[in-house]
Chains A and B, each alone.
Chain A
Amino acid sequence: MRQKKYTGWFFLLPGFLGVSLFYLIPFLDVVRRSFTQAVGGNFVGAANYQTVFTNQAFLLASKNTMRFAAVCLPLLLLISLGIAVLVQRLETWAGFLKGAYLVPLAIPAASVVLLWQLLFDRRGFLNGLLHLTGWDGVDWMNTGASFGVLVFSYIWKNLGYDVVLWIAGLSMVPKEVYEAARVDGAGEWRCFFYITLPGIRPAAFTIVVISFLNSFKVFREAYLVAGNYPHDDIYLLQHLFNNWFRDLSMDKMAAGAVTMALVIFILVCLLQKSWDKN
């Protein structure tokens, strides 16, 4: 290549300076702050981390956030994979269906707040429907059922996104392999387990990571419907960080942010490693 060594940097630099100014450098400052006192700035070692890890709210929020990811990720991934496999073989309706699943992505959370309130109220639409089947329903937002509402919101919002991702992954499996397998007498399920599943593994890593990251955005729905202090079962790390921010607990926030960054970083690395091995 006949390029000078710095041409790449010339293009990258303006953006990189911004990223450094707004994200990289201040994060280093956050790391420093996580080891110092909020007022005075004396070095306190791991004391902030100790405070955070023994904080009841932090433990509750971490538990809920992990539980949420553990429930909604497998659900979303399985449903969207199933739909993608089916949609991909349709000839007439595929475009329409894909478009329809993506609609929630375009609907701002704020626009559905009212609908969510009316749907999940004790006297709302959902309980009205359930009443017809003879069940009395529950108070969705003010009991443990709120967790289910959150899972539903997440799947509703992200289904189309994941279906499109899976279809992209599926399209990379060469068609000839299927044809050859069919000629050899393999049925639908055998094709799925022995050709489709191994074939989409490279895409699966990205899809899991992206779905996990999008799971943090469900806070929008949770916050808009239930405010700063929702039912205990859907009190997420996002709520906690907001409340810390309002109280200006910089030391706790710094330790919390560093911990969270570390956990996410390790998680992504682990996932990538386990996928590379296979």
Chain B
Amino acid sequence: MSKDGNWAGGKIGHGLCMAPLFVMAALAIGPLLFLAGGSLMGGNEIEACIRPVMNGEEGYAGWHFLPLYPTLRHLVRVLFDSPEFFQMFWNSMKITAGTLLGQLIFGMTSAWGLARYRFFGKKVVYMLYIVLMMMPFQVTMLSEYLVLDWLGLMDTLWAVILPGIFSTFSVFIMYRFFCGIPEAVLEAARCDGAGEWQIFWRIGIPLGASGIISALVLQFLECWNLIEQPLTFLKTKSLWPLSLYLPQIRLEEAGFALCASVITLLPALLVFLAGSDYLEQGIAAAAVKE
């Protein structure tokens, strides 16, 4: 659009506008630096920093972003000496993998059907999906509980995975991308004698790939951060995902907690970094008109 030089008020105006942008960015990234530094700090150093919070002493907690005496002690303890952390890491993995895999199977086909075919009841189903997508967990909580209880799935990982598979949000994202494939491509394939399933498999999936990945990235971040569902449907602590376990660690073990937080964060951060383009596309898909 306009060159950087075109700002009203020239260079000074430019600087004034830019400053808040970078302050906001610093606020957004700050917690990452805090966690990264803290995970390398020794127990004594952390305690010295946050003693006022722990014991209510006079003065205020302080922090240094670069540890004075870096150590890997907490990291080693989290990785090799805390079986419960490992257990919950796997629970999180199972929940996330199960949900994503299920969405690939059920969500993708649903989105394709809704996007590319005209059939009786399509409008109603689409409306239902949109409305369902908008309902917060508290609205569907009792419904989900009733079914899970009826199926005898309460207090198993399935109680979190199965409803997650049929979340209509990812159907909506994939639907948006599938709609963008030109009909002419599909018609051409039909003329060449391709069956509907073949068209979906050979044309729909490859051409809609960015939408599918977008949906998966968004859903991964959501699954990894799941709090309400496991809190409601899982009673046994050994089934809990990391998101419920971390807050249980007490302030006295701040070093351990920081390290565990970082390791919890890593998979999400990796997915985020690898898929940030797709993430942006997925988010933007909702705002752009069909």
Q: Which residues of A contact B (CB under 8 A)?
A: 1-3, 5-16, 18-19, 21-27, 29-30, 33, 83, 86-93, 96-115, 117-118, 121-125, 127-128, 131, 156, 159-161, 164-169, 172, 175, 178, 187-188, 202-203, 206-207, 209-210, 213, 216-217, 219-220, 223-224, 237-238, 241-242, 245, 250, 253-254, 256-257, 260-261, 264-265, 268
B80 near A: Cβ within 8 Å? no
Residue numbers in A under 8 Å from B121 (CB-CB): 9
Contact B268 A123 (CB under 8 A): no
Assuming the contacts A103-B32, A261-B135, asked whether A97 and B25 have C-beta atoms less than 8 A apart, the reply is: yes
Interface 0/1 of B249-289, CB less than 8 Å to A = 10100100110011011001101100010011001101111
Near A by CB (< 8 A), chain B positions 166-185 give: 166, 168, 171
Residues of B within 8 A of A (CB): 1-4, 7-8, 17-18, 20-22, 24-25, 27-29, 31-32, 34-35, 50, 52-53, 56-57, 59-63, 105-107, 109-110, 112-114, 116-122, 125, 128-129, 131-132, 134-147, 162-163, 165-166, 168, 171, 190, 196, 200, 221, 224-225, 227-228, 231-232, 242-247, 249, 251, 254, 257-258, 261-262, 264-265, 268-269, 271-272, 276, 279-280, 283-284, 286-289
Bound Cα distance A88, B2 (Å)? 10
18 contacts between A and B (CB under 8 A): A12-B109, A16-B125, A101-B24, A103-B32, A107-B32, A109-B243, A110-B264, A111-B31, A112-B261, A114-B251, A127-B60, A206-B286, A209-B134, A216-B136, A241-B141, A245-B142, A245-B145, A268-B134
Q: Which residues of B contact A224 (CB under 8 A)?
A: 227, 247
Least CB separation from A28: chain B residue: B143
Smallest distance from the beta carbon of A210 to chain B beta carbons, Å? 6
Find out whether the CB atom of B1 lies under 8 angstroms from the CB atom of A7.
no
**Closest-CB distance, A156 to chain B (whole angstroms):** 7
Q: Do B125 and A12 have beta carbons less than 8 Å apart?
A: yes
* Contact with A106, one of B113, B134, B221 (Cβ below 8 angstroms): B221
Identify whether the interface residues of B are mostly helix, strand, loop, or mixed: helix
With a cutoff of 8 Å between Cβ atoms, the chain B residues found around residue A261 in the complex are: 135, 139
Which chain B positions have C-beta within 8 A of A25?
147
C-alpha gap A83/B23 in the complex (Å): 11
> Given contacts A108-B242, A123-B61, A131-B60, could you give 11 more A-B pairs where the C-beta distance is less than 8 Å?
A11-B112, A15-B110, A26-B144, A99-B276, A110-B225, A114-B261, A124-B53, A128-B62, A168-B287, A175-B1, A220-B227
CB distance from B74 to the nearest CB of A (A): 13
| Across the A-B interface, the 6 shortest Cβ-Cβ residue pairs | A8-B117, A11-B113, A128-B60, A15-B110, A168-B284, A8-B119
Contact residues in A for B17 (Cβ distance below 8 Å): 86
Q: A108-B225, A108-B268 are in contact. Are A167 and B113 (CB under 8 A)?
A: no
**How far is A5 from B122 in the complex, measured between Cα atoms in Å?**
11
A205 to chain B, nearest CB (A): 9
